[in-house]
Amino acid sequence: PPAAIAATQNSRDTLPSYWNPIMNRLNAEKFSVDPGSEEYARVETAFMLTLDDPSRGLQRTQFTIQSVERIQNMDLWNLYVAKRKTICGRMSPKDAQSLVRNWLFHGGRPDTVDKILQQGFNRSFAGRNATRYGKGVYFARDASYSTFFSSPDTDGVQSMFLARVVVGEYTLGVQDARTPAERDATTHALYDSTVDNVRDPSIFVTYNDGQAYPEYLIKFKQDGDPPPPT
């Protein structure tokens, strides 16, 4: 039927142009990104850009990328696109650009990486460590912050996700809060996410599974054992 064709066409239109043709629509697929490619350079630059953290004696020269993989998961992508459309639809296209971040970082633990690939950033297993700005999924503007939450596997390799995130309209996070505060008292609509600092946020917390898409998985090694972020 034409409607089904239109729907397929629609979802195809919203896929990033650099993705591989999707053969498997049921499960997540990982595609290795070639170190010589423009795509690899984009991801590497984004990762390396914010690795320096003088307060923790952290320098980008301490990090070595082992691999970069692109994650293609149609279920998660469609959820993300739908959520992005809903949140961005509140504003004009020009203003809506401020509601989306490509990319924020999320440190992966060996026991959650595969779950995130298939199920996305699910609060039940992603928000166990930090609750200072609310009980959601934590994303960082700076890769240096997420390195601390990227637990090494038995070979000392750490994993970090580069995620597209619809942060939407945000407010200051509250310790242990299960949802953001109300942004509109008349409709009881909530803020879309919470942050550590409204004027200059470096941590974003989301509360809806469709708000973030794990687009890349970087595996890396680091020299030294820096203290935790303050």
114-169 pLDDT, tens digit each: 999 999 998 876 555 568 899 999 999 999 999 999 999 999 999 999 999 999 99
Is the CA virtual torsion 217, 132, 171, 55 positive or negative? negative
Q: What is the pLDDT of residues 141-154, one digit of tens each?
A: 999 999 999 999 99
Q: How many CB atoms lie within 10 A of CB 69?
A: 18
Angstrom distances, CA of residue 50 to CA of 90, 103, 131, 214: 31, 12, 23, 19
Residues 169 and 140: their CA atoms lie apart, in Å, by 16
Residues 222 and 48: their CA atoms lie apart, in Å, by 12
Q: What is the pLDDT of residues 11-64, one digit of tens each?
A: 445 789 999 987 777 889 999 999 999 999 999 999 999 998 888 888 899 999
Angle at 89 between CA 83 and CA 94, to 5 degrees: 115
Cβ-in-10-Å burial (0-12, 13-18, 19+) of 158 comes to buried
pTM (2 d.p.): 0.90
Question: For 53, which DSSP code?
Answer: B
